[in-house]
Amino acid sequence: MATLGPSGFSPYPVAVYEGVLNPPPGKALMFNEIVDEELAMREAARAMLTRANPTIFPGPQVLYAWNEEAREKAKLVKRIAQVLGAKIIPMYDYRPKYPKIDPAVEINPNHPNLTIWHNRIKACIFVGVHCHYANVALKIIRAETDCFTIAMCGMAGHEDAMITLRDQHVEEMERFIKVAEEVKKELGK
Amino acid sequence: MSYKIYEINEDLLDVMPQEIRDLQFRATWGNPKRGVMDLPYSKELIEEHSLCAGCPESMALRYILASLPSPEDTIIVNSTGCTSLVFPHIALHTVHSLFGNQNAVASGIKRVLEWRFPDKVKDVVVLAGDGATVDIGLDCTLQSFFRQEKITTICFDNEVYANTGGQESGLTVKGHVFKMAPKGKQWDKVPFWQIAIDSGCHYVARLTVSSPKRVETVIKKAIYVAREVGPTYVHLYTPCILEIGLNSDDGLDEMRQRDKERFAFFEYVSDAAKEVIERKKEEGLL
């Protein structure tokens, strides 16, 4: 964890201050390496298929039917969960819920570690979470848990996730499903 | 704003908690006739709150949120105080401004919304305590009235700075003693409802929240008038039961007593506002 300079104000380690930056378009980030998207997708699928209690955390951008792409993405999230044998726990909004969240059925970006601890989640995918809250939540998860985080981002990605897939829209998500099916076959699952 | 923003994707409906499904299926979006009578039957826009047990302010918030004619197109601007503990939990757009700046922030939001959505009605409602409205934010509050900003200002008057331990405010009654005002207040309570009239508000009301239906009517009038005419002001008595030494179940009685004296119902309606209110009555919205 950085201790000098502006990052010292953050209570959590910040990847960008450790020299980890988002991948350029067409590429993906795996830990601190820029890699081909295909490779990152394979490793993401492998992590979800081999680690305990894999879970997808869909955010408001896919949970609500605010446009046609959101509807399509919701279907694909469900399909990804089926292929990976993953549970879905929604991050339906970002309100700091009081007095406490029910970690069995929801995740809140202000204390996402509670849901991960409660369900003993060792691998997760963030999809459809607005970037600013994904950034907050991924930092907390990175600092407080041993969960393998995968950010499936529609924009530039999140360097605090272990694997970052950027510019993920319907076409890319469909490709991820195909990759996941292949990896599942390879693993004999 | 599209109602679709509340519509859960069918494919993921089964993973959503019940309270969020209720917001889609049992809340009263898109119904301008919504009101406090819906409270027992519909999903409220406030889930849980962090105010003290029996706090009259929580009653006020429930009634106000139930009375907004168009919650899906309402932005609430609030300020530091007990109310600001609640706003993160409500299912509406809220903006927390710096202490006292709320009417200036609301003015900016209203103007931008008018520019950005010229064909839509967007209500901007300020909800703040007596300290934010009348003491620290007096300048911003009055200037927004002078400028005839089309916003509704609601003051939760508990007559004290409650959550900082009990300091007197401009709205504290003369002679009242609080933990951090041990000598008792030496000056009169500021009659802010009168100042609001003199400063150009077109609809002003002073009341307690002992009567839910009355709160509903006042809030609706204030919002409809603000939409078309200019600034409106609602002064609500929401006593801090802790600071005045009452039990959790005493808040309602306290307000009923004050209904008969310094918070007797008072309403001012300008000529321009009268026309709006009459029209809304004819439309069955009041």
Q: Is residue B53 part of a domain?
A: yes
Q: Mapped to the 3 state alphabet, what secondary structure does chain A carry?
A: CCCCCHHHHCCCCCHHHHCCCCCCCCEEEECCEEEEHHHHHHHHHHHHHHCCCCEEEECHHHHECCCHHHHHHHHHHHHHHHHHCCEECCCCCCCCCCCCCCCCCCCCCCCHHHHHHHHCCCEEEEECCCHHHHHHHHHHHHHHCCCEEEEECCCCCCCCCCEEECCCCHHHHHHHHHHHHHHHHHCCC
Q: Is residue A8 part of a domain?
A: no
- Counting the structural domains of chain B, the total is 1
Report the Cα–Cα distance between both ends of chain B, in Å, rounded.
24
pLDDT at residue A56, rounded to an integer: 98
Q: Is the pLDDT of residue A12 over 90?
A: no
Q: Is residue B262 part of a domain?
A: yes
| Full domain range(s) for residue B169 | 33-282
Q: Is residue A29 part of a domain?
A: no
What the block records as the tokens of A139 is 């930092």
Q: Is residue B174 part of a domain?
A: yes
Q: Is residue B82 part of a domain?
A: yes
- Does the distance separating the beta carbons of A96 and B88 come in below 8 Å? yes
Q: Is residue B227 part of a domain?
A: yes
Q: Residues A67-80: what's their mean pLDDT? A: 96
| Full domain range(s) for residue A93 | 50-186
Q: Per-block average pLDDT, block size 10, for chain B (286 residues)?
A: 77 94 90 94 87 93 96 93 84 90 98 95 96 95 98 96 90 93 94 97 97 98 98 97 92 95 96 98 96
Q: Is residue A33 part of a domain?
A: no
The pLDDT tens digits for A80-124 are: 999 999 999 999 988 877 667 899 999 999 899 999 999 999 999
Q: Is residue A126 part of a domain?
A: yes
- Does the distance separating the beta carbons of A105 and B7 come in below 8 Å? no
Bond prior to A25 in cis (omega within 30° of 0): no
CATH number at residue A167: 3.40.50
- The residue of B3, B12, B24, B47 whose CB has the most chain A CBs within 10 angstroms, and thus the best one to mutate to test that interface, is B12
ipTM of the complex: 0.90
Residues above pLDDT 70, as percent of chain A: 92
Q: DSSP state, B157?
A: E
- Interface residues on A facing B, Cβ-Cβ cutoff 8 A: 58, 62-67, 70-71, 74-75, 77-78, 88-90, 92-93, 95-99, 102, 105-106
CATH number at residue B142: 3.40.50.970
Q: Residues A34-58: what's their mean pLDDT? A: 97
pLDDT at residue B2, rounded to an integer: 61
Of B6, B7, B12, the CB nearest to A78: B12
pLDDT at residue A11, rounded to an integer: 63
